[in-house]
Structures are given as structure tokens and as C-alpha cells.
């Protein structure tokens, strides 16, 4: 299955579809990360996306996050509401990361233009959303190279020649 998706479809098919389907692991890469809110399934309420990640961690899903810069104070405030994230969410700060992807269990993935922000992947109204696009796929010929790229950056395979090491952490860290 290869689906070209845009704007609101990205939210419904990735945040409401792909992310909750993760059973073993969820890998997320984004250049920008902000405090993003999502709808609680079956309710007319909103919750921080970090709350969704917390629920997944509670189900035993391992989550890795690569992002290019530190998130702002609103994100940190929501982050502090979920103690499980403090010890179980693994993250890497890499200022060279500009690709955006979400990979569930190494078998299904979204990759495209949307950052992990309300205007990119969240519930912003159509008049406040960015114009985004991407591909949702379960084709292994596309998912495997995406996993390889994510894993190489995660392991620090690119760090030696990067030239930006002074701007990132010391490798994988818990948030």
C-alpha cells in the first residue's frame, strides 16, 4: 500500500491511524517539534501528543525520537506532566536532521514534509494548517531504507564527519 496524503489526511492517517497501531516500536524523526494536541479517540476532548506517546510506552512500545532543536517551553511543560517519558522515551538531538518520518514496528511508515507540530501533524483547523504532503506505505522497499537512515543517525554513524557536534547531545539520551 502506497498512499499519497496531504494536509488533514496526514493527521487522520498518521497520528490517528499509524501511531496507535504501533505494537513494539515507534520511531519519529522531525526537524521541528512543538507542543501538539490531538483528539482523544471517541471523545470530544484534546490531549497533548506526548500523552499519546505516554500511553504507548505504558503498553510496552519502545519509542525513539530524533529532532533537530530543543522544543519550546510549552512542550517542556506538557512533557513534565508525563513522568514515564522522563525515563522511557529515548531521544537524540541532531541539528542536521531535516527529514520527517514516523515508522511503526519497522513495517509501516509515513515520510514527507510535516514536522511534529500542530500546524504540520496536529489538529489545527484547515485555515491554520501548513500545506503538507507525504507518503504512507507498508512497502518494504521503501520502509527498509527509511529505517536504515533513521538507525544510522540514531547510532551516530554520521557524527564523525558532521561538523556540528558541538550543537548536539552526546548521543542517545532520555529526554
Percent of the chain with pLDDT over 70: 95
Q: What is the mean pLDDT of residues 111-130?
A: 90
Quick one: CA dihedral 41, 47, 53, 57, positive or negative? negative
- Could you give the CA distance from residue 133 to residue 10 in angstroms, rounded to a whole number? 7
Per-residue pLDDT reduced to its tens digit, 8-23: 899 999 999 999 999 9
Domains of the chain: 2-169 (3.30.870.10)
pLDDT tens column, 57-69: 999 999 999 999 8
Residue 169: pLDDT band (50, 70, 90) is low
Residues in the chain: 175
**In this structure, are strands 62-67 and 25-30 parallel, antiparallel, or unpaired?**
parallel
Question: Could you give the dihedral angle defined by the CA atoms of residues 129, 74, 90 and 114, in that order, rounded to the nearest 10 degrees?
Answer: 10
Q: Which helix (H) or strand (E) holds 108?
A: strand 108-112
Q: Report how far residue 135's alpha carbon sits from residue 155's, in angstroms, rounded to the nearest whole number.
A: 25
Residue 57: the pLDDT is 98
Amino acid at each position: 500500500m502506497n498512499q499519497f496524503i496531504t494536509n488533514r489526511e496526514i493527521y487522520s492517517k498518521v497520528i490517528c491511524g499509524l501511531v496507535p497501531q504501533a505494537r513494539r516500536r515507534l520511531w519519529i524523526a522531525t526537524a521541528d517539534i512543538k507542543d501538539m494536541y490531538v483528539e482523544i479517540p471517541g471523545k470530544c476532548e484534546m490531549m497533548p501528543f506526548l500523552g499519546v506517546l505516554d500511553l504507548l510506552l505504558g503498553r510496552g512500545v519502545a519509542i525513539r525520537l530524533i529532532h533537530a532543536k530543543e522544543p519550546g517551553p510549552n512542550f517542556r511543560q506538557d512533557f513534565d506532566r508525563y513522568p514515564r517519558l522522563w525515563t522511557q522515551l529515548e531521544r537524540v538531538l541532531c541539528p542536521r536532521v531535516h527529514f520527517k518520518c514516523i515508522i511503526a514496528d519497522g513495517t509501516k511508515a509515513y515520510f514527507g514534509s510535516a514536522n511534529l507540530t500542530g500546524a504540520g501533524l496536529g489538529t489545527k483547523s484547515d485555515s491554520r494548517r501548513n500545506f503538507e504532503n507525504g507518503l504512507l506505505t507498508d512497502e518494504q522497499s521503501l520502509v527498509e531504507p527509511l529505517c536504515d537512515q533513521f538507525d544510522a543517525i540514531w547510532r551516530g554513524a554520521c557524527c564523525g564527519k558532521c561538523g556540528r557536534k558541538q550543537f548536539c547531545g552526546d548521543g542517545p539520551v532520555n529526554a
